[in-house]
Protein backbone atom coordinates (compact mmCIF):
# COMPACT_ATOMS: atom_id res chain seq x y z
CA UNK A 1 0.00 0.00 0.00
CA UNK A 2 1.10 3.59 -0.56
CA UNK A 3 2.67 5.40 2.31
CA UNK A 4 3.44 8.97 3.15
CA UNK A 5 6.94 9.79 4.27
CA UNK A 6 7.59 12.96 6.14
CA UNK A 7 10.84 14.92 5.99
CA UNK A 8 12.52 16.14 8.17
CA UNK A 9 11.85 13.73 10.97
CA UNK A 10 12.43 16.17 13.83
CA UNK A 11 12.37 19.94 13.98
CA UNK A 12 13.16 22.31 16.81
CA UNK A 13 12.28 25.99 16.42
CA UNK A 14 11.77 29.14 18.46
CA UNK A 15 8.29 30.42 19.20
CA UNK A 16 7.20 32.81 16.46
CA UNK A 17 9.20 31.09 13.71
CA UNK A 18 7.62 29.14 10.87
CA UNK A 19 7.79 25.36 10.71
CA UNK A 20 7.77 23.49 7.41
CA UNK A 21 7.36 19.75 6.98
CA UNK A 22 7.36 17.74 3.79
CA UNK A 23 5.68 14.52 2.80
CA UNK A 24 6.20 12.31 -0.22
CA UNK A 25 4.13 9.40 -1.45
CA UNK A 26 4.39 6.76 -4.13
CA UNK A 27 1.06 6.12 -5.84
CA UNK A 28 -2.02 7.99 -7.06
CA UNK A 29 -4.17 9.60 -4.40
CA UNK A 30 -7.65 11.01 -3.92
CA UNK A 31 -6.55 13.36 -1.18
CA UNK A 32 -3.76 14.02 1.30
CA UNK A 33 -4.39 14.83 4.94
CA UNK A 34 -2.32 16.14 7.82
CA UNK A 35 -2.89 15.09 11.43
CA UNK A 36 -1.37 16.25 14.71
CA UNK A 37 -0.63 14.07 17.71
CA UNK A 38 0.17 15.48 21.10
CA UNK A 39 2.35 13.32 23.28
CA UNK A 40 0.59 10.14 24.40
CA UNK A 41 -2.70 11.05 22.75
CA UNK A 42 -4.66 10.16 19.61
CA UNK A 43 -4.33 11.89 16.26
CA UNK A 44 -6.38 14.96 15.40
CA UNK A 45 -7.22 15.88 11.81
CA UNK A 46 -5.84 19.26 10.73
CA UNK A 47 -6.44 19.75 7.04
CA UNK A 48 -7.31 17.87 3.85
CA UNK A 49 -6.25 18.77 0.34
CA UNK A 50 -7.75 17.05 -2.68
CA UNK A 51 -5.66 15.78 -5.59
CA UNK A 52 -7.01 18.53 -7.88
CA UNK A 53 -6.04 21.31 -5.43
CA UNK A 54 -2.61 22.90 -5.20
CA UNK A 55 -2.82 24.91 -2.01
CA UNK A 56 -5.08 25.20 1.00
CA UNK A 57 -5.14 27.39 4.09
CA UNK A 58 -6.64 26.92 7.51
CA UNK A 59 -5.78 29.52 10.14
CA UNK A 60 -1.99 29.40 10.59
CA UNK A 61 -1.71 26.27 8.45
CA UNK A 62 -0.83 26.23 4.79
CA UNK A 63 -0.70 22.99 2.81
CA UNK A 64 0.60 22.59 -0.72
CA UNK A 65 0.30 19.57 -2.97
CA UNK A 66 2.36 18.79 -6.06
CA UNK A 67 0.95 15.65 -7.64
CA UNK A 68 3.59 15.65 -10.38
CA UNK A 69 6.27 15.29 -7.71
CA UNK A 70 4.03 13.25 -5.40
CA UNK A 71 4.80 15.55 -2.51
CA UNK A 72 3.12 17.86 -0.03
CA UNK A 73 4.27 20.40 2.50
CA UNK A 74 2.72 21.69 5.70
CA UNK A 75 3.65 25.16 6.88
CA UNK A 76 2.79 26.37 10.36
CA UNK A 77 3.25 30.12 10.61
CA UNK A 78 4.07 32.04 13.78
CA UNK A 79 4.51 28.87 15.79
CA UNK A 80 3.45 28.63 19.43
CA UNK A 81 4.58 26.35 22.24
CA UNK A 82 1.20 24.60 21.92
CA UNK A 83 2.17 23.52 18.38
CA UNK A 84 4.71 21.12 19.91
CA UNK A 85 3.51 17.75 18.64
CA UNK A 86 4.09 15.05 16.04
CA UNK A 87 2.65 15.71 12.60
CA UNK A 88 1.61 12.94 10.23
CA UNK A 89 0.63 13.02 6.61
CA UNK A 90 -1.83 10.44 5.33
CA UNK A 91 -2.89 9.62 1.80
CA UNK A 92 -6.25 8.36 0.65
CA UNK A 93 -6.50 6.07 -2.41
CA UNK A 94 -8.34 7.24 -5.55
CA UNK A 95 -10.87 4.41 -5.32
CA UNK A 96 -12.16 1.64 -3.13
CA UNK A 97 -12.19 1.63 0.65
CA UNK A 98 -11.46 4.37 3.11
CA UNK A 99 -8.05 3.26 4.24
CA UNK A 100 -5.45 5.91 4.81
CA UNK A 101 -1.72 5.28 4.56
CA UNK A 102 0.13 7.20 7.27
CA UNK A 103 3.71 8.40 7.26
CA UNK A 104 6.04 7.84 10.19
CA UNK A 105 5.50 11.27 11.65
CA UNK A 106 7.48 14.45 12.10
CA UNK A 107 8.22 15.69 15.60
CA UNK A 108 8.12 19.45 16.08
CA UNK A 109 9.31 21.16 19.25
CA UNK A 110 8.54 24.84 19.67
CA UNK A 111 10.74 26.47 22.28
CA UNK A 112 9.07 29.31 24.21
Partner 1 sequence: DVKVTQSSRYLVKRTGEKVFLECVQDMDHENMFWYRQDPGLGLRLIYFSYDVKMKEKGDIPEGYSVSREKKERFSLILESASTNQTSMYLCASSFALGKSTKNIQYFGAGTRLSVL
Rg (CA), the chain: 13
Residues in the chain: 112
Q: Rounded CA gap, 82 and 93, in Å?
A: 32
Reference 59, options 78, 73, 44; nearest CA is 78
Residue with Cβ nearer partner 1 (61 or 102): 102
Torsion of CA 34, 35, 38, 39, to 10 degrees: -90
Stretch that binds partner 1, among 17-25, 43-51, 52-60, 69-77 (CB under 8 A): 43-51
Q: Whole-number minimum distance, CB 105 to partner 1, in Å? A: 6
Reference 60, options 78, 40, 84; nearest CA is 78
Residue with Cβ nearer partner 1 (88 or 110): 88
Give the rounded distance of the alpha carbon of 30 from its chain centre: 15
Per-residue contact string for residues 77-96; x = within reach of partner 1 by CB under 8 A: -----------x-x-x----
32 binds partner 1 (CB under 8 A): no
Stretch that binds partner 1, among 10-18, 58-66, 72-80, 101-109 (CB under 8 A): 101-109
**Binding site residues, partner 1, CB under 8 A:** 1, 30-31, 33, 35, 40-45, 48, 88, 90, 92, 97-100, 102-105
Amino acid sequence: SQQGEEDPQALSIQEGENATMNCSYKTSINNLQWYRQNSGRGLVHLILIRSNEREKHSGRLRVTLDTSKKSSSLLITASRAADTASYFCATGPPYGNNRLAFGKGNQVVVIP
